[in-house]
Amino acid sequence: MTAPAPALVLVRAPLDRVIAGLLAMGATAQNRRSRVFDLGEHLILVEYDADDHVTVAAVGGPEVLPTAAWVAAQLEDFGCAIQTLLPPLNPVG
């Protein structure tokens, strides 16, 4: 069985601000420069898109969409503006 595609959270905030928000919600990283975070059973990969001026957070794991929605809400509470939440391209159903 293949893993479902990640959901994407597009955040109108700098990468450092999004990383600080992830750490504040309890996500962990292997090192200080990591852009991959563990949050429970989920993996979150973040990258800044200089063309669109957004930080993209790809949320993968067993409950992709509910977790991505929760992460988006937490980041918004942290002061990061959420541009959009995109569901997985190949939802498991």
Q: What pLDDT, on the 0 to 100 scale, is given for residue 7?
A: 96
> Domain span at residue 70?
7-86
Q: What is the pTM of this model?
A: 0.89
User: pLDDT band at residue 3, thresholds of 50, 70 and 90?
Assistant: low
Task: Kindly provide the residue ranges of all beta strands, DSSP E only, lying in the chain, ordered along the sequence.
Answer: 7-12, 28-29, 36-39, 42-49, 54-60, 81-86
Residue 93 domain-assigned? no
Residue 92 domain-assigned? no
Give 38-46 contacts, CB < 8 A, sequence gap 24+.
Answer: 39/67, 39/71, 40/67, 42/67, 44/71, 45/6, 46/15, 46/18, 46/19, 46/22
Q: What is the CATH number of the domain that holds 66?
A: 3.30.1370
Q: Examine the pLDDT at 39 and tell me if it is beyond 90.
A: yes
Per the structure, how many domains does the chain have?
1
13-37 pLDDT per residue, tens: 999 999 999 999 999 998 888 899 9
